[in-house]
């Protein structure tokens, strides 16, 4: 009987890994087709066209709207993803009620944002731009909520296509505006924001109709007792998202507010952070797939360590390859991408790419702890992150400007990573594999050495850059961090 149970568990886990690997492959493929072009083709071009000061103003206001974004959601999206993945029959009930309350929250968010902006001394143009960014956040929040229903229903392929739709539409609109040779037209940061609004509105409509087709009924209602019940369960998610957004995004807002030339410094910081934003989609997509899978496994009392290890190995390799090559080729990358302030932003990129490695780890660990419902502990960790970030930014920005903000970001992510790792091992009683740690340390060392060698060997830096990426991935198979036979077998069987 024991042998039969073991055989069943092994077969089941292989199926889980296969589902994760194939959906991840689709999600990455779609996002790699669209989002890099959006970030480096459109977003970067916009900054070069409008200048660091104008883009820095947009970047600061955008992050300001993100800081208060939690008022739009109050943790409903994460809570909904977890609940629908466990109890899919509740879709219609939750959908009808949550849409009603999110609409009310949208008005509260708008008022809260504009009042806070006035208190902080923003002028008329700031308020005008912020009004559209607030509308964009409202639409984006609803899109994420609609997608949480689809991923909760395990419709990962549909969710994958929705994850790129808004960016795809923005690429089309902005391409026409930037390169369409429209007579008597001057591209400004305002047009960039308008393009985002149109794209979000179209994606909002399409995603709403998709979820509506899966619900057995939809009647907007404000059931006070039901919503209070949901809020009691979801407010820890809301607090967690707020705290995480604060320690991740407050740096650019503080740069713009604390310094006389804050717009410029925020723009320089945005140049370096753009690459982090681009590659950050990889761990973000991992987390989106893992949350419903972890939730279901924990509900069924299955061990999550094998899936955590499998996901970590798949994520760590591209994260390390990108980080190492971007650190060593940081000056060349910034010179290629930007017309202004390339030297200053290259220094920031080296610091922020180390942060990216830590962010990748935090995504997997944080997702596992969220699925487990360890929100009280996660909020303590996130609050610690906010305290560290605020203190370091206040201390370092007046003296080191954007470099100080980058250092604060790195130290904050390191502290959060250490605390989450300790909590995961304590909560799930994971076993420490010393052999794996040795392999990872050796692998990291070799990755740095060979990337440095490639820079010395190849006179054309772009060739060296891509050779380094390929070598790091190749070494991951040599060190058996990723087992190529297992990966190919999983994909073929699906």
CA dist 198 to 14, 99, 173, 209, 212, Å?
Answer: 42, 21, 9, 17, 21
The reported pTM is 0.74
pLDDT at 171: 92
Structural domain includes residue 354: yes
Question: In the 8-state DSSP scheme, what is residue 38?
Answer: I
Sequence-distant (≥ 6) Cβ neighbours of residue 322 within 8 angstroms: 279, 353, 356, 469
CA dist 370 to 68, 163, 174, 364, Å?
Answer: 21, 21, 37, 10
Q: Give the DSSP letter string of 419-488.
A: HHHHHHHHHH-PPP-HHHHHHHHHHHHHHHHHHHHHHHH-SSHHHHHHHHHHHHHHHHHHTTSS-HHHHH
What is the distance between the alpha carbons of residues 404 and 410, in angstroms, rounded to a whole number? 10
Q: Which residue, among 133, 135, 71, has the nearest Cα to 104 in the 3D structure?
A: 71
Q: How many helices (H) and strands (E) does the chain have?
A: 18, 0
pLDDT band at 9 (very low <50, low <70, confident <90, very high): very low
Q: Evaluate whether 339 touches 366 at the Cβ level (below 8 Å).
A: no
pLDDT at 355: 92
Structural domain includes residue 479: no
Structural domain includes residue 492: no
CB atoms within 10 A of CB 9: 13
- Enclosing domain of residue 28: 19-431
Structural domain includes residue 277: yes
What is the distance between the alpha carbons of residues 196 and 102, in angstroms, rounded to a whole number? 21
Residue 350 has pLDDT above 80, yes or no: yes
Structural domain includes residue 392: yes
What is the distance between the alpha carbons of residues 177 and 284, in angstroms, rounded to a whole number? 29
Half-sphere exposure of 5 (CA within 13 A, CB side): 3
pLDDT at 200: 95
What is the distance between the alpha carbons of residues 270 and 247, in angstroms, rounded to a whole number? 16
**How many independent structural domains does the chain possess?**
1
pLDDT at 205: 93
Of residues 79 and 18, more confidence is placed in 79
pLDDT at 356: 92
Residue 203 has pLDDT above 90, yes or no: yes
**Lowest-pLDDT choice from 18-27, 276-285, 339-348, 396-405:** 18-27
Structural domain includes residue 470: no
Inter-helix orientation angle 461-478/305-328, to 10°: 160
63-67, 156-160, 169-173, 257-261, range with greatest mean pLDDT: 169-173
pLDDT digits (tens, 9 = 90+) for 220-259: 777 777 777 777 777 787 788 788 888 888 888 888 888 8
Structural domain includes residue 448: no
Half-sphere exposure of 39 (CA within 13 A, CB side): 19
pLDDT at 258: 86
pLDDT band at 64 (very low <50, low <70, confident <90, very high): confident
385's tokens: 């992150």
38's tokens: 């959006």
Question: In the 8-state DSSP scheme, what is residue 304?
Answer: -
Of residues 276 and 8, more confidence is placed in 276
Sequence-distant (≥ 6) Cβ neighbours of residue 112 within 8 angstroms: 68, 71
Q: Evaluate whether 473 touches 317 at the Cβ level (below 8 Å).
A: yes
Residue 479 has pLDDT above 80, yes or no: no
Please compute the mean of the pLDDT values over residues 137-164 and round it to a whole number.
83
Residue 16 has pLDDT above 60, yes or no: no
Structural domain includes residue 486: no
Q: Evaluate whether 83 touches 149 at the Cβ level (below 8 Å).
A: no
Q: Which residue has the tokens 């039901």?
A: 226
pLDDT at 2: 47
What is the distance between the alpha carbons of residues 258 and 230, in angstroms, rounded to a whole number? 39
pLDDT band at 482 (very low <50, low <70, confident <90, very high): low
Q: Evaluate whether 325 touches 452 at the Cβ level (below 8 Å).
A: no
What is the distance between the alpha carbons of residues 359 and 484, in angstroms, rounded to a whole number? 25
1-10, 180-189, 462-471, range with greatest mean pLDDT: 462-471
Q: Evaluate whether 389 touches 409 at the Cβ level (below 8 Å).
A: yes
**Lowest-pLDDT choice from 206-215, 342-351, 423-432:** 423-432
Q: Which residue has the tokens 């026409």?
A: 176
Residue 490 has pLDDT above 50, yes or no: no
Residue 82 has pLDDT above 80, yes or no: no
């Amino acid at each position: 009987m024991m042998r039969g149970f073991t055989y069943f568990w092994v077969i089941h886990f292989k199926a889980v890994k296969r589902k994760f690997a194939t959906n991840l492959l689709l999600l990455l493929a779609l996002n790699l087709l669209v989002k890099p072009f959006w970030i480096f083709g459109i977003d970067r071009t916009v900054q070069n066209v409008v200048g660091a000061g104008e883009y820095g103003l947009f970047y600061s206001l955008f992050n300001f709207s993100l800081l208060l974004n939690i008022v739009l959601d109050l943790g409903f999206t994460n809570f909904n993803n977890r609940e629908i993945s466990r109890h899919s029959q509740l879709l219609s009930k939750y959908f009808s009620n949550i849409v009603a309350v999110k609409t009310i929250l949208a008005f509260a968010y708008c008022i809260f944002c504009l009042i806070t902006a006035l208190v902080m001394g923003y002028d008329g143009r700031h308020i005008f731009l912020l009004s559209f960014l607030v509308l964009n956040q409202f639409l984006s929040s609803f899109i994420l909520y609609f997608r949480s229903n689809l991923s909760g229903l395990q419709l990962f392929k549909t969710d994958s296509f929705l994850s790129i739709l808004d960016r795809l539409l923005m690429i089309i609109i902005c391409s026409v505006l930037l390169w369409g040779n429209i007579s008597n037209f001057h591209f400004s940061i305002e047009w960039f924001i308008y393009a985002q609004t149109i794209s979000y509105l179209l994606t909002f409509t399409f995603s709403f109709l998709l979820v509506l087709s899966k619900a057995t009924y939809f009647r907007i209602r404000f059931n006070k007792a039901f919503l209070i019940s949901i809020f009691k369960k979801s407010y820890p998610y809301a607090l967690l998202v707020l705290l995480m957004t604060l320690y991740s995004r407050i740096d650019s807002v503080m740069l713009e507010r604390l310094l006389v030339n804050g717009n410029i410094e925020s723009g320089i910081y945005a140049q370096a952070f753009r690459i982090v934003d681009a590659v950050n989609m990889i761990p973000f997509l991992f987390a989106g797939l893992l949350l419903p899978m972890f939730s279901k496994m924990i509900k069924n009392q299955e061990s999550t360590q094998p899936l955590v290890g499998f996901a970590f190995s798949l994520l760590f390799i591209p994260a390390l390859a990108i980080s190492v090559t971007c650190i060593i080729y940081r000056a060349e990358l910034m010179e290629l991408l930007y017309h202004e302030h390339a030297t200053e932003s290259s220094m920031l990129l080296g610091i922020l790419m180390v942060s990216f490695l830590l962010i990748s780890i935090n995504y997997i660990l944080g997702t596992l702890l969220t699925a487990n419902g360890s929100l009280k502990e996660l909020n303590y960790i996130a609050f610690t992150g906010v305290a560290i970030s605020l203190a370091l930014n206040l201390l370092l920005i007046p003296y080191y400007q954007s470099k100080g903000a980058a250092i604060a970001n790195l130290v904050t992510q390191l502290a959060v990573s250490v605390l989450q790792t300790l909590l995961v091992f304590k909560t799930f009683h994971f076993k420490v594999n010393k052999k794996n740690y040795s392999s990872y340390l050796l692998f990291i060392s070799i990755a740095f050495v060979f990337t440095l060698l490639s820079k010395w060997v190849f006179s054309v830096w772009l060739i060296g850059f891509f050779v380094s990426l390929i070598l790091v991935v190749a070494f991951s198979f040599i060190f058996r961090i990723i087992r190529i036979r297992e990966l190919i077998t999983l994909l073929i069987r699906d």
